[in-house]
Structure 1
Amino acid sequence: MNQLKSFSQYILQIAYKYGLNSVFDDFLEMTVCALSLSAKEDRYHEIVRNYEKPDAYLMAEAFGALVLEMDNNGVGLKDGFGDFYMEYISHGHNGQFFTPEPVCELVARMLNPAGFGERVADCCCGSGRMLLAAAKIKRDCLFFGADIDRTCTMMCLNNLCLNGLLGEVCWMDTLSNRFYAGWRIELHPEHGIPYIREITKDESYLVLRIPDAKKELTASAADKTASPTHQLLFEF
């Protein structure tokens, strides 16, 4: 029986043959598929067919190592991907240096030391460590994260679901309100455990609902007493 290595050792070992970026992205998506409880089984098999059987087994062992590391001596809520991503994948490209976890915890306590409300949102979530820091104060919130980088959203999505946190993660440009894909972490109606469900733009809470400008102008012109329409950034 092979001794369990660290998550990074497994990924780097597989990457020698297939390339680090593709292996890391495939691992993230395969994990999302596994956490979708059979809804993404076809996609999972489509990805795993690109790997020889021994390497596919290594992917499974990498997942086991990741879960052990994220357990964090029973404390949990540890970013399982961010440091690896910065060191081996992004190298700071496009300014992708994630806030250190202790700083995230400090910021979370400064913002709301008594505990958050029902929802916590981060419109540039990276690997989700700011949301994990908020969960250390109050983990029964709903957590919402968005990022323009797909890999970042997949890291955040896995981090939230593997820690049993519910909410939504979107791959989108929050400045231009351009939505590419989204996922909801919910309790499964039958099994009662957190699972991932892909959502549409219309289902997302993070997409800004912009009124039809032409209709609004027409209505305003017809009704001189009409008050201006205000729009919240997040329609919660």
Structure 2
Amino acid sequence: MISKEFQAHYDRLCYSRSRENVFCDFLDVSLYCLSAGMLSEDYLRVEKQYTKEEMPLFFEMLHIIADASEDFEDALGGVFMQFISNGHNGQFFTDNHIGRMMAFAVRCDELTPEQSVCDPTCGSGTLLLGSRKDMCR
């Protein structure tokens, strides 16, 4: 579930832009932050399209996603599903609790460090996150 604060920031940025473009710009700004400034061209491209007042919203959104991603949760998949795909083109993300249940059903909690997990759905990695969560308990 996406926080109301994230949604308010996102809606503000989408006021005169497409939801898909704002989502891609959010990803570019996030990657710039995570790359320690190495992807400056993408950041500068985004910065030109937004006001001084709007740019900090991207950073606040990244903090919200980071907080929501604690404990091996897929918050970004939820954002994409809620704001972008809406099930179009057959894109549906597995809920986190379903991923954890699937990991439990295939006994991921019994995996050794040398073993791996096959995620046949290979979307946002919900099953992999669920298996890792089980392994860390």
Q: Percent identity?
A: 30
For residues 192-207 of structure 1, the aligned pairs below 5 Å read: none
The change in CA–CA distance for 1:28 and 1:122 in structure 2 (over 3 A counts) is farther
Aligned residues: 132
Which aligned pairs between 1:53-202 and structure 2 lie closer than 5 A? Answer: 53-71=52-70, 76-111=71-106, 112-115=108-111, 117-118=113-114, 119-122=116-119, 124-138=121-135
Cα deviation, residue 47, structure 1: 2.0
**Aligned partners of 1:7 and 1:65 also within 8 Å:** yes
Change (3 A) 1:101 1:36: same
* Distance of 1:97 and 1:89 partners within structure 2: 11
Partner amino acid, structure 2, of 1:12:
D
Q: SS at 2:11's partner residue?
A: helix
> Aligned partners of 2:78, 2:84: CA distance in 1, in Å?
10
Matched, 1:32 2:4: no
Cα gap change, 1:77/1:109 in structure 2, threshold over 3 Å: closer, same or farther? same
Higher relative contact order (CA 8 A, sep 6+): 2
TM-score norm. by structure 2 comes to: 0.81
Structure 1 residue 137, shift from structure 2 partner: 1.9
Write the distance in 2 (CA, Å) between the matches of 1:125 and 1:32.
21
Gaps of at least 5 residues in structure 1 are 140-236
Structure 2: stretches of 5+ with no match in the other structure? none
The two structures, once aligned, show a CA RMSD in angstroms of 2.2
Which residue identity lines up with residue 115 of structure 1 in the other structure? L
Residue 114 of structure 1: how far off its partner (Å): 0.7
In the other structure, the counterpart of 1:156 is none
Q: Deviations over 1:158-177 (max 9, x none)?
A: xxxxxxxxxxxxxxxxxxxx
The structure that is strand-richer by fraction is 1
Contact 2:96-2:130 within 8 A present in 1 as well? yes
Runs of 4+ in 1 over 6 A off after TM superposition: none
Please identify the structure whose Cα radius of gyration is greater. 1
